[in-house]
Structures are given as structure tokens and as C-alpha cells.
Amino acid sequence: MVPESRDLDDAVGVIAAAKKPVILAGRGAVDAKDALVRLADRTDAMLATTLKAKDLFRGHDYDLGVCGTLSTPVANDLFLESDCIVSFGASLNQFTAGKGSLVKDKRIVQCNLYSADIGRFAAPTVGVVGDAALTADVFVRWLDEADIPGSGFRTAEIKAQLQDNAHETGTDRSTATTVDLTRSLRRLEEVVPQDRLYTTDAGRFIIETWRTFSVEDPRSFVFSIHFGSIGLGMSYAIGAAYAAPDKPGLLVTGDGGFMLGGLTEFNTAVRHNVDLIVVVCNDGSYGAEHIQFRNRNLNPAISCFDWPDLGPVATALGGEGYTVRNQEDLEAACAAIPNRRRPLLIDLKLNPDHVPSMPR
């Protein structure tokens, strides 16, 4: 039950007046999916999530995906166009809010289970303390009782734009000895089992991996960079595998993070027979430093490393390893995924000047 209050009345008023609403779900609302979809369908709203609630609405015609610095161009335009954000279980931090640009001049209804979580990063128009699902259903019931029409924000044109945007791949930036990151990740997304436990390490590569790899449920997405440190992904992935042993693990890491904390732990995965696929986005550098040197027209050599070939290293550690320098190599690695019997490592060789920058 959701107790009636002035805040609840005000929130319904804001939602009823919205012409272009967005329903936003954070990690605190992952159990409220059905109720939030009902509210969005009732109000003709777009649906979106924070990163930690990734893919909660995957498959819905009006899912904008992750809100904020990871938004696609089409989704970003729709966020900017919207006039109201109804947020459930989200903090509305700077990354979700696009450093403020996505919440500027909008009316915001923020619903969280605890009052301390309301207004920490962005000042809402109305704050409602309550369970996400129960509150969303109250909003729907009151809108029905008042016979409030839908906003009309949803159109066939927007639906088509979202579908077309999902298939964009951009320019192929592969070379004679390196592969294109986006295209390689999209090919792997097709082959890696869909019921995956998806973990990422930290690094410049994550902007593309977060956008590309999907999960069946937000709880299958393991976020390992709370400390802002590279090198923790492998340990998180192994731990996740023990928490859900019936799911195959997918770790996407950079070469710096893998060499810092993943190399020895790969053998741990081998010794304990963990079902784990490791994709190393290997640009032969510490990417965060490399891009800073390039931005200042300085020689980035000090940020580059001559790592060992990680495919044979993975095999020597008791797993199975593949080095990918071209499309033929990538297809060989993809063919090995459904037949894997040991932890499998795929070393994607990348050009450090062709890796998208991490959002800030």
C-alpha cells in the first residue's frame, strides 16, 4: 500500500500535465518492470534505464536504452526533447543526467524507497518515498480515475528511428593487423550465449562494450568499477560465476586491466573449471593515458606496452586462447565459443587511435 500524501498528489499532477514524458528505472526498480511498463504505456512515455538497470526494458518498442553519457544519438535527442522525467530507484547522478544537460528545464518526479536517496544529485520537482511498483500502479490508477489522456509522445516515426538506430555500426576502422572494436563486439554479441553473466573491467573500451552486449536481466550485469580501478574484472567475473553457476560468464576487459589483475586469475578460472569467456580489448596501451597524450599532441609511446600474445598465454595457462587480428581470426574464435570446454580467451588486437573515448 502507498500512503496518500501531498507529494503523491503533486506527482500525479506533474505526470498528467506532461506532453513528452520519460519513465526512468534505476537499479532500485529492477523488480518493478511490469508496473513501470504499464505506467509508460498509459502515458505514452519513452522508457529508459540507468547503466546499472541495463536492458530492463529491452525489446520494448519505445526503449531508449541507457540514459546519460551512454545514450545513442537518437535516444539523446529524445531525452533533450522530453519535458518530464519520472524516475524510479535511480539517483540521477551526473552520468545519468548527462552532467545536468538531460534534466535541465524538465519537471522531475523522483520515487525512491528511502528519503535520503531523493535529491542527492538533482533537485526533483516532486519527491515520492515508496516502493517503485506500488507507486507506479497508484499513478496509473489515479490517471484512470481522472480520465487523463495519454501524452501522445509516442509516434510511428520515433519507433522506426529507434529500430534503425539499433542496427547502426558506423565506419569500419580495421587495419591489416587490427580489427574494428564495434564490429567485433557486435559479432561476439551474436555468438556468446544470451543467458550470460556479463562483467566489465574498467578502461576506455567500456563505452562500446556497455552499448553492445546485452543481458536478459539487470542482475546479470556485474559492475566492477566502483573504485575507479582497472584490473578487478576477472575477480568479479569468477565470483559471479559461483553465485550463478548455471549461467555462462562473459568478461570484457582491456589489456591493461587483464595484465594487472586478470592474468593470474585466468588460471584460477581454469583450475576451478569456471565457464568463462574473456574478451580482451587489446590496444597495446593504457588507453586513458594514450588519449591524453594524443589530445595534447604529445608522443603516446610511454603509455604503450609490448604485451605477450595473450591467445597462446591463455592456452599455456590451461585454457583456450585465440588471437584476433582480422575477420578470419574472429570467425575462428566465434566458432570455438559454442564448443568451449575450458575458460576461453579472445584477444582482440585494436589500433589505439581507433578506440572510442570513455564518457566522462
Q: What is the pLDDT of residues 217-244, one digit of tens each?
A: 999 999 998 888 999 999 999 999 999 9
Residue 14, all three cell numbers: 506533474
> How large a percentage of the chain has pLDDT more than 90?
77
Q: What pLDDT does 74 receive?
A: 93
Q: What pLDDT does 91 receive?
A: 94
Range with the poorest average pLDDT among 102-111, 164-173, 237-246, 311-320: 164-173
* CATH 3.40.50.1220 domain position(s) in the chain: 6-165
Q: What share of the chain is helix, strand, coil (3-state, %, to 5)?
A: 45, 15, 40
* CATH 3.40.50.970 domain position(s) in the chain: 181-354
Give the span between the Cα atoms of 173 and 127, in whole angstroms.
46
**Shortest CA distance to 222 belongs to which of 202, 204, 208?**
202
Q: What pLDDT does 215 receive?
A: 96
Q: What b/e sequence results for 74-103 when a residue is b if at least 16 CB atoms lie within 10 Å of its CB, and e otherwise?
A: bbbebbeebbbbbbbbbbbeebbbbeeebb
User: What is the distance in angstroms between the CA of the first residue and the CA of the last residue of the chain?
Assistant: 40
What would the CATH number be for the domain defined by 181-354? 3.40.50.970
What would the CATH number be for the domain defined by 6-165? 3.40.50.1220
